Structure 1
């Protein structure tokens, strides 16, 4: 007569399976949440780093432009005379327009080292416009460069020779008008509000060169 022994192979009960699945689900959720947090933190840090680099590059360029400003008036594309530095230029949304020296010429071409620069605020974007010629012909188009995005507002004011702040430029005195002496301000202050950084103020020194008299035709 054969003896039939009961199978003693161990296995999971239904309750044990449910507990194991629950623990696994919790651990998976914790791992996913932790990984998501790390990825979000990395993405946020990367975005902030890019925004900071963009801001630093913009201020570096603006500093280089303004610190090479000179008192050289020009004619716009309509044939009208414009002062060396103004805050209501021809371009829409102009914050500041001026003449600067130091235009790069790596090929040593026979041309002027002066150029006309404008900064505009359009559709929450701070743009830099540059003209290759000072006295522009009708239809002259500037080279446009994007400096900053997500700009909520921007404003300019000027420090005059008496160390007083002016909202508009130029503010020529009667003596300056009679003598033909054209000046640029001592400094330009830019106040800009960005979505990422809030309000930022920067002061840019202007050399203060004077142009005595006006060039032919201006």
Structure 2
């Protein structure tokens, strides 16, 4: 009898087929895990952006100052107002720094589909054209204000603050996301 040294061609083909199938399945599992990680990371990024946007808007709205509470004459372009077009919100707010003497001017506006938050250190100065802090959000936004038992689409009152503001963000994945912020204005 003749004794064989090694494997037959058929055994080699079966072994290579098993190895190829195992490698293909492993690659598909790794690719699926990578795609899932990318999708979750993207989802977390969008959720974090919305949280940052809501937090910034809520802080600005709750710290907004009514113009008559301030001494001196205040130019109309720094009154608390919202028009729903290019400049969505214009307000003076208490500064975050307790040593600051002047209020901070905040403007929320849209430019080329991007929502921007601009901040000036000297709130009453209308000649200062360079903002101190700029934040960008790629989420469209709508605002409404509650006063006198009804919602108003805009606000342009020098001597009064709204009772509440409704922020509506339009997210491509989640649709409309709404939040109501109490502002401390007098309710009727």
Q: 2:91 aligns with which of 80, 84, 98?
A: 98
In 2, the alpha carbon distance for the partners of 1:125 and 1:99 equals: 22
- TM-score normalised by the chain length of structure 1: 0.73
Instruction: Give unmatched runs, 5+ long, in structure 1.
Output: 76-80, 173-180, 210-218
Tell me which protein shows more helix as a share of its residues. Answer: 2
Aligned partner of 1:208 in structure 2 is: 185
Q: 2:152 aligns with which of 166, 180, 188?
A: 166
Aligned partner of 2:172 in structure 1 is: 195
Partner of 1:183, secondary structure, is coil
Compared with structure 1, are the counterparts of its residues 88 and 61 closer, same or farther at alpha carbon in structure 2 (3 Å cutoff)? same
Tell me the alpha carbon deviations over residues 84-141 of structure 1, each in whole angstroms, 9 at most, x when there is no partner. Answer: 311149xx8211111111x1226x35x32x1111112223332211111223243522
Q: 1:29 aligns with which of 10, 24, 45?
A: 24
Alignment of 1:186 with 2:172, yes or no, is no
Aligned partner of 2:141 in structure 1 is: 154
Shift of residue 148 of structure 1? Answer: 2.5
Contact 2:83 2:153 in 1 (8 A): no
In 2, the alpha carbon distance for the partners of 1:15 and 1:123 equals: 66
Tell me the alpha carbon deviations over residues 59-93 of structure 1, each in whole angstroms, 9 at most, x when there is no partner. Answer: 11211110111111742xxxxx236311149xx82
Q: 1:66 aligns with which of 61, 65, 79?
A: 61
- TM-score normalised by the chain length of structure 2: 0.83
How many residues in Structure 1 have an aligned counterpart in Structure 2?
A: 181
Judge which range, 139-148 or 128-137, deviates more: 139-148
Q: Which runs of 4+ in 1 moved over 3 A?
A: none
Instruction: Give unmatched runs, 5+ long, in structure 2.
Output: 69-73
Alignment of 1:134 with 2:123, yes or no, is yes
Judge which range, 20-29 or 189-198, deviates more: 189-198
How large is the RMSD of aligned CA atoms in angstroms? 2.4
Shift of residue 26 of structure 1? Answer: 1.0
Compared with structure 1, are the counterparts of its residues 104 and 168 closer, same or farther at alpha carbon in structure 2 (3 Å cutoff)? closer
Aligned partner of 2:71 in structure 1 is: none
**Quick check: which has more Rg, 1 or 2?**
1
Contact 1:85 1:96 in 2 (8 A): yes
